Amino acid sequence: MKKILTFALVLVLSLSLLAGCTQSEDSKKIIVGASTTPHAEILKVAKEVLAAKGYEL
């Protein structure tokens, strides 16, 4: 009984791992939240850098 339960658990974990690795559409939109200072100021600079690479922040 213990072997069957262990095998079933390993099977379920393996399948869930593979399901999480499937490819979806490539989204170029990044959503973040930040406090006013200094994080928002850093994100303003990062927004310009990411825009040059084709991402939307």
Residue 53, SS3? coil
Angstrom distance (rounded) from CA 46 to CA 52: 10
Domain that holds residue 45: 2-52
Per-residue model confidence as pLDDT tens digits over 13-36? 888 887 766 666 667 888 888 887
Average pLDDT over residues 30-53: 85
Give me the residue label for tokens 């262990």: 6
More confident residue, 32 or 8: 8
Predicted pLDDT of residue 6: 92
Q: Is residue 17 part of a domain?
A: yes
Q: What's the token pair of residue 38?
A: 């200094």
Q: Is residue 42 part of a domain?
A: yes
pTM beyond 0.85: the answer is no
Q: Is residue 44 part of a domain?
A: yes
Task: Calculate the average pLDDT of the chain.
Answer: 83
Q: Is residue 57 part of a domain?
A: no
Angstrom distance (rounded) from CA 23 to CA 20: 9
- Number of domains observed in the structure of the chain: 1
Q: Radius of gyration (Cα) for the chain, nearest Å?
A: 21
Predicted pLDDT of residue 21: 66
